Structure 1
């Protein structure tokens, strides 16, 4: 499973894998027709598709036991999502690997995604003025969408307009919705920073710090653990001299070699 942050990237990456590597790959995201999503899901479960490039729309309710790799091409916006997604590997008890790819410029994309989740102050001002002019309490998602708003923003505005009305708030609809946006956006950015601090921490065992995030402690050390603990090739045994099975190579060649290794082993 290769997790990406956008629908477009899921499609582009699946196509690139099919063109460059000897694997059946498919994209999966929420923008696809329900029938197409169901077909790809079944093909993946039946091993007819070996690699699935997906957004976080894929995974809930999926219990495929023999997933060997969960790769994050884009890192998620919070640690909870990362743990849930990486946990889909190795459910059959066999050795599996979670790989997170990261460069320093990657911080731009998740911030744009968080900003995109919420309507702007200008949009909130506009829709509140329009809805007040209409003088109607029937503020539904479809009604907000009819003024050109995207589904996710229409759902947000209609929900918190209703919440404002039910609470009989003293402040205006616009002030209340903007207050909620500021609070929710701040919470999401804090979760993102926590995720990025975990990524950039090269001093502590990654497994240990993940457990600490959830109030747990590592009971015993794991031989094949993480990059911080010095394990470079988790799917290969290391001999007594400590030499890994693969020589030094680029991350692209390393990923390719890992995939090829798994294919040859069946």
Structure 2
């Protein structure tokens, strides 16, 4: 079997991209694989093709429901029908129907939370599982930027399903996170396929803005002149919405905002409109972007900076997926320190909150789904904060199978607080490392690679602002007619005939 032939048969591509064939070959040999491939290199084919070539089913654990739906619809549009996603989008009747014929599917997408459900595990245990895939695997690490405790149970689920060959794949992971991924997934001797996080076609720029008002004026200037489409990241929903309205009022492009507070239907609609070039600019929080495979994003602007380098690399990596030059611009202001620190600390329970929660839990006999909601509302804590605490309670034997077991308040408080402080200290260190990168006066690309334990091999043209790169080449030529261009581009999109532009 020649893998290139199978790639063309199923996906229409003639050749593999960087790292794809290595991952696929290792999986087909029955090896566990930890892979780090650059954003935009087609990571999904690394498990989709082996799944289609295997006899059994492949489980794909994915962190975002919209990402699952997008991949399922894309595969079906390519004629691959033996794929499904079990998630909260489905009506009970539809989910029951899928579960009844689950063994007919080659690819089964699930969230880590859905995979914890006992009836789904029972159904999967009766099947032949070819591969167990953890997409966006940095989420499994307690030291990763998107730590989700439900991921930490995946190792046990994998073993319960007969420990099939496992692929843990991501675009960004430090050596510490890579090691933790192996530990959490119980991988003893995995094949490591690690590629550079460098994206040579992205030029890095940091601009200092004294105040938020200065940032707003700069944003208006940039999006008016930069070639699009583009994305603008914010640390709060309010800022994303407000700047979106401001840009619309200024008549600058087709703009929409996106954040976790929108309904599922609205999020999917905006995502599809952006993918189909019906929206030019997305004003978004970190909720938008993971798994977005839009090829022609020309710029990513950070109105607020994220809390670590890993998140930054993930977000700017949405640009330049077509291999064309793109730009990443971060607008920095000392005023942002308070907001960023608040975002960093908000998941950390205060001593009083932790004491109060433990006091309440000690009076309970069990904590089921309904009780969790009551607890979160009663104690005013976020869902992600509760999930992390629940995991800590389970790790200490206090909570098992939704039942509370006797425990010492003092010892539980001390051990949980110590673990939380250790994790928070790592986050603070990561933030400081990112701030050093922002304030750096030497090559930004070199320093970014150094954070991931890499060395810069070749400095590209337009490397970064500290290396002399400017935004001039990324700007549109505003002297061109603003009336002729749009209708010609529209004809090209409608008829797909590039020669229309030459007439």
Report if TM-score (shorter chain) is over 0.5: yes
Return the alpha-carbon distance in structure 2 between the equivalents of residues 106 and 42 of structure 1.
32
Counterpart selection for 2:300 from 60, 70, 87: 70
Change (3 A) 1:119 1:33: same
Higher alpha-carbon Rg:
2
Q: CA deviation at 1:258?
A: 5.7
| Counterparts of residues 61-210 of structure 1 (less than 5 Å) | 61-134=291-364, 136-138=365-367, 141-149=372-380, 150-165=382-397, 172-202=411-441, 204-210=442-448
User: Secondary structure of the equivalent of 2:466?
Assistant: coil
Q: CA deviation at 1:158?
A: 2.0
Q: CA deviation at 1:138?
A: 2.8
User: Secondary structure of the equivalent of 2:385?
Assistant: helix
User: Secondary structure of the equivalent of 2:328?
Assistant: strand
Equivalent pair of 1:128/1:174 in contact (CA under 8 Å): yes
Return the alpha-carbon distance in structure 1 between the equivalents of residues 314 and 331 of structure 2.
17
Q: Tell me which residue corresponds to 2:462.
A: 224
User: Secondary structure of the equivalent of 2:388?
Assistant: helix
Task: Structure 2: give runs of 5+ residues left out of the alignment.
Answer: 1-230, 400-404, 490-503
Equivalent pair of 1:2/1:52 in contact (CA under 8 Å): yes
Return the alpha-carbon distance in structure 2 between the equivalents of residues 32 and 262 of structure 1.
38
Return the alpha-carbon distance in structure 2 between the equivalents of residues 27 and 180 of structure 1.
36
User: Secondary structure of the equivalent of 1:47?
Assistant: coil
User: Secondary structure of the equivalent of 1:98?
Assistant: strand
Return the alpha-carbon distance in structure 2 between the equivalents of residues 185 and 226 of structure 1.
31
Q: Tell me which residue corresponds to 1:37.
A: 267
User: Secondary structure of the equivalent of 2:473?
Assistant: coil
- Normalised by the length of structure 2, the TM-score is 0.45
Q: Tell me which residue corresponds to 2:238.
A: 8
Return the alpha-carbon distance in structure 2 between the equivalents of residues 32 and 88 of structure 1.
21
Q: CA deviation at 1:71?
A: 0.5
Residues 17-40 of structure 1: per-residue CA shift (max 9 Å, x gap): 111232111111111111000000
Equivalent pair of 1:27/1:52 in contact (CA under 8 Å): yes
- Normalised by the length of structure 1, the TM-score is 0.83
Return the alpha-carbon distance in structure 2 between the equivalents of residues 108 and 192 of structure 1.
13
Equivalent pair of 2:232/2:283 in contact (CA under 8 Å): yes
Equivalent pair of 1:2/1:71 in contact (CA under 8 Å): yes
Return the alpha-carbon distance in structure 2 between the equivalents of residues 99 and 61 of structure 1.
21
User: Secondary structure of the equivalent of 2:413?
Assistant: helix
Equivalent pair of 2:357/2:379 in contact (CA under 8 Å): no
Return the alpha-carbon distance in structure 2 between the equivalents of residues 263 and 27 of structure 1.
29
Structure with higher strand content: 2
Change (3 A) 1:15 1:166: same
Return the alpha-carbon distance in structure 1 between the equivalents of residues 308 and 472 of structure 2.
24
Return the alpha-carbon distance in structure 2 between the equivalents of residues 259 and 111 of structure 1.
40
Equivalent pair of 1:67/1:88 in contact (CA under 8 Å): yes
Q: CA deviation at 1:187?
A: 1.0
Return the alpha-carbon distance in structure 2 between the equivalents of residues 2 and 201 of structure 1.
22
User: Secondary structure of the equivalent of 2:467?
Assistant: coil
Provide the aligned C-alpha RMSD in A: 2.5
> Following superposition, which runs of at least 4 residues in structure 1 exceed 4 angstroms of deviation?
166-171, 257-266
User: Secondary structure of the equivalent of 1:117?
Assistant: coil
Answer with 9-18 or 227-236: which moved more. Answer: 227-236
Residues 170-212 of structure 1: per-residue CA shift (max 9 Å, x gap): 862222221222111111111100000000111x100111111
Return the alpha-carbon distance in structure 1 between the equivalents of residues 415 and 368 of structure 2.
15
How many equivalent residue pairs?
A: 244
Return the alpha-carbon distance in structure 1 between the equivalents of residues 366 and 413 of structure 2.
15
User: Secondary structure of the equivalent of 1:104?
Assistant: coil
| Counterparts of residues 19-30 of structure 1 (less than 5 Å) | 19-30=249-260
